[in-house]
Structure 1
Amino acid sequence: MMKISTNSKKDVYLHAAIITLLLMVLFFGFFFVYLPWSTNHGDAITVPNLKGLTMEEAEDLLDERNLDFEVTDSTFTAGLKPLTVLSQYPLENSKVKQGRKIYLTINTETAPMIKLPKLTEMSVRSAEQQLLVSGLLKPDLEYQNDSRQNEVLEVKFGGTKIESGSLIAKGSKVTLVVGNGTDSVEIDVPCVVGQLYDEAQIVIKGSGLQIGTVIYDPTSTEPAGTIIKQNPECENGNKVRSGDMIDLWVAGNPPN
């Protein structure tokens, strides 16, 4: 067996020390220089809140933070713009590494079609709840002279009557035609000229009528808020039907 000669024990210790030092340099260099540089160890990025942003806005925000994204699901939420971010994972304020992919659920571009539920002969409150459960918006109300007070008489969409079972886009708003509890009988037009506006409202509504157009006249010499004219007029036994409107002219400027 060949023997490795050394000049002295000192050389052996020196060689061992050099080898040990090199191993230590490699160890610390790998774990504290190369690894952090290659994996961005310790360089955590805070995930921003993306909910409510459009896809374009979310992409710009993620690009600024060197993060990526992927759309994994889509659903429809009424009242939000198409392609709006609905949810995200990881959640906002999570700490992630550079280049991490954020998974998004977005609002669909096209609303799905649903069947209009049966709403007639229901109370307004029940019909509104049924619409919300079905994914439609809270409806507009249109009152009509009918003894069936607060009962849905028919449903309109886009100004046209629509039947239950008809297809309608989710998130749409319909109009409920509702009975006001009064029959279509003729009544005398109440006289409110000379009264204050608040008093006139009580008289008109108490007669089963509605306030129509209100026009203010800042040039009138009557005290502000006084009714100076009405249409229809109350002279000559004029009559109107329950639920009809009375237009009013009021002295002074309109309230702010």
Structure 2
Amino acid sequence: MILAVAFDKLLMPWYVGEPEARVNNVVGMTYEQAEEVLTNAKFQPVNGGIRYDQKYPAGTVILQKPEPNTTVKQGRRVYLIVSGGEQMLEMPNLRLKSLRDANIALSRLGIILGTVTEDTSNYVPRGAIMEQSIPNGSKVGRGTVVNITLSSGKPLGDIDVPDVVGKSLSEARRIIESSGLKVGKISYQVSIDLLPNTVVLQFPRSGEKIKEQSVVDIFVVREKVSEQTIRDF
């Protein structure tokens, strides 16, 4: 009975008697500015927490409840959500990862894989990432582009082109292949002074330096045509 009387005589007049007003729009203001505006309008500003939002600078109000221009009793609490600014991410370590694994890891964070180039390496296996344009552990925002360099394997060594001029075709082939090179185009030409299948010219010339598994083109003496073959023809 006493509680009922107290509510009727004290609380109800206070609640009913509070005038109504429209809630000020404080979105875009700093929290301090919003707090001052709402307090002057006889509302109670309450910090409702932080939310990362790259559209608003850190410390700026991005959301309020009740919403702006809502008519409520003065003295009501107005909850303010404040921007934490752009959420910064930690760049992962991509070294030694495959291109596929790196792409998956970056996509999950919202980081974009940019240019992919290749280079030789004595230590990083072929197909693995050997360099990244942004060091791992760096703080970056979503949408940041990182470029990577893939290993194409160990560099091919420089080899001196062997001299096969004057050698038979079979011997020239053996020498070239045992040097880590390949026999390229074989062209034939007529010679009255040299035996058939003798190498008379090569390209690149002997002594030049070329990469391993490069090709060496050779020119070989054609088989002689006999007089009998000419008469039959």
**Bin of the TM-score, shorter chain as denominator length:** 0.3 to 0.5
Asked which structure has the greater CA Rg, the reply is 2
Give TM-score, length-normalised by structure 2: 0.39
